[in-house]
Structure formats: C-alpha cells, structure tokens
Amino acid sequence: MEFKSFDTIITGIDLRKELDVLFNDQKTAYWVVYRRFDLTKHSDYFVDITKEGVGGPKYEYTDELIEVRSSLIRRLSQNLEVPMPPALLQDSAVNFYMRHTVQPKIDDVIYEIEYPGAQKPASVPLPDLYTVKFNIMGVFPMRDANYGRVEYFLVYCKVAN
C-alpha cells in the first residue's frame, strides 16, 4: 500500500462545496442574525465623556441573516476543549461554522432566533424573537491546504450576559 500525505489526500476537495452540502441539509444548519458593528462610527447612544454607549450600543451596526451550523464545546483546561452534550452547559461555548463570504470579526454579535422552517426569513426578525445572544471571541479562517484560500470560518463564541 502506498503512503499518501495529508495534502495529497485532500487535493481536489472543495471545502466550500462540502460546507454548502452541510448547509443544505436543514437538519444541521439554521438561520441567525449577525450583528456587524462599524467601529469607525459612534451611535446616537455614545457619550463622549464616558466613552461608552448608554441605553444602546456604542457603535453603529447592521443586522443580516446568515446560515450557520454550530456545536457546543467545553473547556476542560487551558489547552483542551471537547465536544459537549447539550445538557451540560456550564462554562461552555459554541463554535459556529460560517461560509467564507461572511467575513466575521471579533466583538460582533450573533443572535439565535426562533424561526420555523428551512427557508430564509423574508426580513430580519424583531429583537423579541432573539433567543440567545453570543459574543464573538475568536475568528479562525479555515484555509485550503494547497493555496491558502479561505474555505469557511470557525467562529468561537460565548453566551452574552
């Protein structure tokens, strides 16, 4: 049997297409609201004296609907994270898998929404439909082994307080 390197094995696999296949399986993918902050523009809630947002966010933002897949994780020690059964949520976080077109960044926010059905909602849902708010703590571009092209993003989030 001939030994093949890892790069040889995955040559020819288009991870963007593979992610699309996962997202098209409506049992594993769902819609969320992605709140993208514009750190160059202060909102109407920004108070110059305290440099904080009072009664609202500090920066202007836009909301968009994106399709994601997620998995719960739990940090066992400084360097070890493991998949987590849904029943045990203390000290846990969530990894979101996003298409390469999303371009997520740290300090943006993800809102899970209560939305029945597989089709994309016609508009961004009202805030009272948000079920959980996640703060983005880390963004990891997953790249093609041969050319460095971003195939998808792995986004590490924690539940907001």
pLDDT above 60 for 87: no
What is the rounded distance in angstroms from the CA atom of residue 48 to the CA atom of residue 26? 46
Going from N- to C-terminal start, the domains of the chain cover: 13-159
Whole-number pLDDT of residue 75: 55
What is the rounded distance in angstroms from the CA atom of residue 5 to the CA atom of residue 127? 49
What average pLDDT score do residues 72-90 get? Answer: 56
Instruction: Summarize pLDDT for 15-65 with one digit per residue, the tens.
Output: 888 888 877 765 678 889 999 999 999 999 999 899 898 888 899 999 999
List beta partners, residue 59.
42
Q: Which residue has the higher pLDDT, 156 or 28?
A: 156
